[in-house]
């Protein structure tokens, strides 16, 4: 068992509704959280919304709302979406929460008192999309922000600056001596290159230009600018206080992983470590930068009108719960690479993996147990496993460690492939051993031994697939009379007990194929 596991997502801007890209990250993180909930009793999963800044202020103004109204409405949309997707966080922090705002002010003050924050007049290229000043050398040839392809504004202000440069060498050293700090490791070089020419960063804006921000305690003309506010959520949410942190904070910090998109890696692997060093706090163990999701291989954008709402996928395919969508999203890309969503691919993949391979295997094994043995498991079935059955069962049990190891490296797709490979091998075992033929030949003990081996393996499969598909897994476990909350360390190969396991009426498919005709009727609703 692991002592504790604390993980976070990026907090989303609330100037729009959640889309499938936001959902991808929250689903990945929820899957990691649920996986670790079976490895520790002390898991904490934080998500939330990032609510201050010029973008929110402008969107609110253009829609005739106050920033607070816009934030309230939109943060609720994120909460609703995560509920529909079974994203089961422990806290949803909003950067407008009073406890957060109060501690951010204290953090700012502490850094100012230490001399890590100083006032300075500055003129630079400010990108509203990134909510930061850009280095002129990073602009495109046409002078645009490379991420948002928009011309940054020239902003001249007297702002507070954070002495990022003072921490440069320590950050470089940390990245070099902790090869698993940045995941995937191929992104570490990008960060080291960015570190080459970092400068001190602006951490406040004049209230005149950006009114929607947290006030600086002893300087009412300035408000705390987005990144110190946003990044601090990871510590304020669990009770950090520069004067007196809570027991919960002492128990959970340092964070085990910040799950974020590749576009905000710089902020998390350079700015955030520097802020933490300035606060004398240990650094998070891992920063996991996932790739981006495209729609039908095209970048999502409001102007292309291809922004897909995650809940519309559930509605279009009339899915009873989010499991299939979660499974599809989580397996859409190898660790850290970009993935894609397409209706066609979604249907094909979930039908093949969840209905045909996994669901069907359980369903037909239970049906045969009822047909040949009235749903009863006899002790001789367990005692007379063939060498092949024993080896298959041992291999399935061994896969728990393999899957855990993938999760240790945030290889969520790769872990799912291992789980499906157990299912494929077990399907092959059923085909090769043909329990229906054994029954016809009246080799009932052998027939029962094959079926009970499969059911035993399905207990392991339900535990392993649970983080991806919590509803399907719980349904599998209930038909198997297996405790889905069993910790991975405690899983053995004696879950199927002798006696009546199931009756005909109790057997039902755990996942119905996504109907291709229905699915073709309408395209997902755009947001
Ligand atoms: N508010 C900042 C994060 C602050 S974290 C202290 C922000 N917000 S965001 O709404 O723009 O993005 C939130 C997360 O969603 C980021 O991790 C981002 O990478 C991710 N994604 C946004 N669009 C995405 C895709 N198309 N695909 C996958 N993830 C994407 O950045």
Residue 308 Cα to ligand 1 middle (Å): 15
Q: What is the DSSP string of 475-500?
A: HHHHHHT--TT--GGG--S--S-SEE
User: Does residue 22 have its Cβ closer than 6 Å to ligand 1?
Assistant: yes
- CA 13 to ligand 1: nearest atom: 10
Best probe residue, ligand 1, of 11, 12, 237 (max atoms within 8 Å of C-beta): 12
Count the neighbouring beta carbons within 10 Å of the beta carbon of residue 329.
27
CA of 9 to the centre of ligand 1 (A): 9
- Is the CB of residue 375 below 6 angstroms from any atom belonging to ligand 1? no
pLDDT of 486: 98
Q: How far is the CA of 260 from the centre of ligand 1 (A)?
A: 7
What integer pLDDT is reported at residue 64 of this predicted model?
Answer: 96
Asked whether 13 lines ligand 1 (CB < 6 A), one says: yes
9: CB partners within 8 A, 6+ apart: 25, 26, 29, 46, 47, 259, 260
pLDDT (average), residues 305-310: 86
Is the per-residue pLDDT at 193 higher than 70? yes
What is the residue with the minimal CA distance to atom 23 of ligand 1? 21
Ligand 1 binding pocket includes 377 (Cβ within 6 Å)? no
Find where tokens 């700090």 sit.
Answer: 181
Which of 163-172, 244-253, 338-347, 479-488 has the least mean pLDDT? 338-347
pLDDT at 523: 43
Is the Cβ atom of 292 under 6 angstroms away from ligand 1? yes
Segment 83-109 shows an average pLDDT of 98
The predicted model gives 294-309 an average pLDDT of 84
pLDDT at 519 over 50: no
Mutation to probe ligand 1, out of 26, 29, 50 (largest number of atoms < 8 A from CB) = 50
Measured distance CA(397)–CA(456) in Å, rounded: 10
The finding on whether 261 has its CB within 6 A of some atom of ligand 1 is: yes
What band does 156 get if pLDDT is binned at 50, 70 and 90? Answer: confident
Q: Is the CB of 300 under 6 A from ligand 1?
A: yes
525 pLDDT higher than 50: no
Alpha helices by DSSP H, listed for 178-236, are: 188-196, 226-231, 233-236
Pick the residue whose CA is nearest to atom 26 on ligand 1.
Answer: 21
Integer-rounded Cα radius of gyration of the chain: 26
**Dihedral angle of Cα 339, 344, 345, 347, to the nearest 10 degrees:** 120
Residue ranges of the alpha helices (H) in 66-221?
A: 67-84, 98-114, 168-177, 188-196
How far apart are the CA of 10 and the centre of ligand 1, in A?
6
Q: What percent of the chain has pLDDT over 70?
A: 98
**Quick one: 14 exposed, middle or buried, by C-beta within 10 A (0-12, 13-18, 19+)?**
buried
Query: Average pLDDT in the 36-50 region?
Result: 98
216 - beta bridge partners?
219
Q: Is 260 in the pocket of ligand 1 (CB under 6 A)?
A: yes
Residue 396 has pLDDT above 50, yes or no: yes
Closest residue by Cα to atom 30, ligand 1, is: 21
| Atom 25 (ligand 1) nearest CA | 21
Distance 127 CA to ligand 1 centre (A): 16
Ligand 1 atom having least distance to the Cα of 227 = 6
State the burial class of residue 59 (Cβ atoms within 10 Å of its Cβ: 0-12, 13-18, 19+).
middle
Closest among 14, 98, 18 to 60, alpha carbons compared: 14
Q: Per-residue pLDDT tens for 115-145?
A: 999 999 888 888 888 877 888 888 898 899 9
Asked if 95 contacts 190 with a C-beta cutoff of 8 angstroms, the reply is no
Q: What would the two tokens of residue 225 be?
A: 């600018």
* Helix, coil or strand: residue 215: strand
Mean pLDDT, residues 4-21 taken together: 96
Minimum CA distance residue for ligand 1 atom 6: 231
Start-to-end CA distance of the chain, whole Å, equals 43
Q: For the residues 17-38, what does the mean pLDDT come to?
A: 97
**Average pLDDT taken over every residue of the chain:** 94
Residue 248 structure tokens: 């919960």
Partners of 511 in beta bridges:
none
Residue nearest to atom 12 of ligand 1 (CA): 12
Ligand 1 neighbourhood includes 475 CB (under 6 angstroms): no
288 CB near ligand 1 (under 6 Å):
no
- Does residue 293 line the site of ligand 1, with CB under 6 A? yes
Q: How big, in percent rounded to 5, are the helix, strand and coil portions of the chain?
A: 50, 15, 35
- Using most ligand atoms within 8 A of CB, pick from 29, 93, 264, 332 the residue to mutate for ligand 1: 264
Mean pLDDT (whole number) for 512-516? 81
Please tell me whether the peptide bond between 184 and the residue prior to it is cis, using omega within 30 degrees of 0: yes
pLDDT digits (tens, 9 = 90+) for 397-443: 999 999 999 999 999 999 999 999 999 999 999 999 999 999 999 99
Which residue is closest in CA terms to ligand 1's atom 5? 10
Question: In testing the pocket of ligand 1, which one of 18, 25, 47, 301 has its CB within 8 Å of the most ligand atoms?
Answer: 25
Catalytic residues: 19, 22, 127, 130, 145, 148, 299, 302
């Amino acid at each position: 068992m692991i002592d504790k596991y604390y993980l976070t997502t990026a907090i989303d801007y609330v100037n729009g509704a959640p889309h499938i890209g936001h959902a991808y990250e929250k689903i990945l993180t929820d899957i990691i959280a649920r996986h670790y909930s079976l490895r520790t009793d002390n898991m904490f999963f934080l998500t939330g919304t990032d609510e201050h800044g010029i973008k929110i202020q402008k969107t609110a103004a253009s829609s005739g709302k106050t920033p607070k109204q816009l934030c309230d409405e939109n943060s609720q949309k994120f909460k609703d979406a995560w509920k529909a997707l079974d994203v089961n966080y422990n806290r949803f922090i909003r950067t407008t929460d009073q406890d957060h705002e109060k501690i951010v002010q204290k953090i700012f003050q502490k850094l100012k008192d230490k001399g890590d924050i100083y006032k300075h007049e500055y003129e630079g290229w400010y990108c509203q999309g990134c909510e930061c000043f850009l280095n002129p050398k990073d602009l495109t040839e046409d002078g645009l922000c490379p991420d948002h392809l928009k011309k940054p504004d020239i902003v001249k202000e007297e702002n507070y600056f954070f002495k990022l440069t003072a921490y440069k060498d320590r950050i470089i050293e940390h990245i070099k001596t902790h090869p698993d700090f940045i995941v995937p490791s191929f992104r570490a070089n990008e960060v080291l290159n960015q570190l080459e020419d970092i400068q001190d960063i602006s951490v406040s804006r004049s209230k005149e230009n950006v009114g929607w921000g947290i006030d600086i305690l002893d300087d009412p003309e300035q408000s705390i600018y987005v990144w110190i506010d946003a990044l601090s959520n990871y510590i304020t949410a669990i009770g950090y206080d520069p004067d007196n942190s809570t027991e919960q904070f002492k128990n959970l910090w340092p964070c085990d992983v910040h799950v974020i998109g590749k576009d905000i890696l710089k902020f998390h692997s350079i700015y955030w470590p520097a802020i933490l060093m300035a606060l004398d706090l240990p650094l998070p163990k891992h920063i996991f930068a996932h790739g981006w999701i495209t729609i039908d291989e095209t970048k999502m954008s409001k102007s292309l009108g291809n922004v897909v709402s995650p809940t519309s996928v559930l509605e279009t395919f009339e899915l009873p719960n989010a499991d299939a969508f979660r499974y599809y999203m989580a397996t859409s890309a190898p660790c850290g690479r970009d993935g894609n969503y397409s209706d066609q691919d979604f249907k094909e993949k979930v039908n093949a993996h969840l209905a045909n391979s996994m669901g069907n295997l359980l369903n037909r094994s239970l049906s045969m147990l009822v047909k040949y043995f009235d749903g009863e498991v006899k002790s001789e079935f367990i005692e007379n496993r063939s060498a092949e059955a024993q080896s298959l069962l041992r291999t399935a049990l061994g896969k728990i460690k393999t899957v855990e190891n993938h999760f240790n490296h945030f290889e969520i797709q790769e872990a799912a492939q291992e789980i499906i490979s157990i299912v494929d091998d077990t399907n092959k075992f059923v085909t090769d051993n043909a329990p229906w033929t054994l029954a016809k030949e009246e080799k009932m003990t052998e027939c029962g031994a094959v079926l009970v081996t499969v059911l035993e393996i399905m207990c392991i499969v339900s535990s392993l697939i649970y983080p991806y598909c919590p509803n399907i897994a719980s349904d599998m476990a209930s038909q198997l009379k297996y405790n889905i909350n069993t910790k991975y360390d405690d899983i053995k190969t004696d879950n199927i007990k002798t006696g009546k396991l199931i009756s005909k009426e109790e057997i039902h498919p755990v996942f119905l194929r996504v109907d291709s005709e229905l699915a073709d009727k309408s395209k997902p609703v755009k947001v």
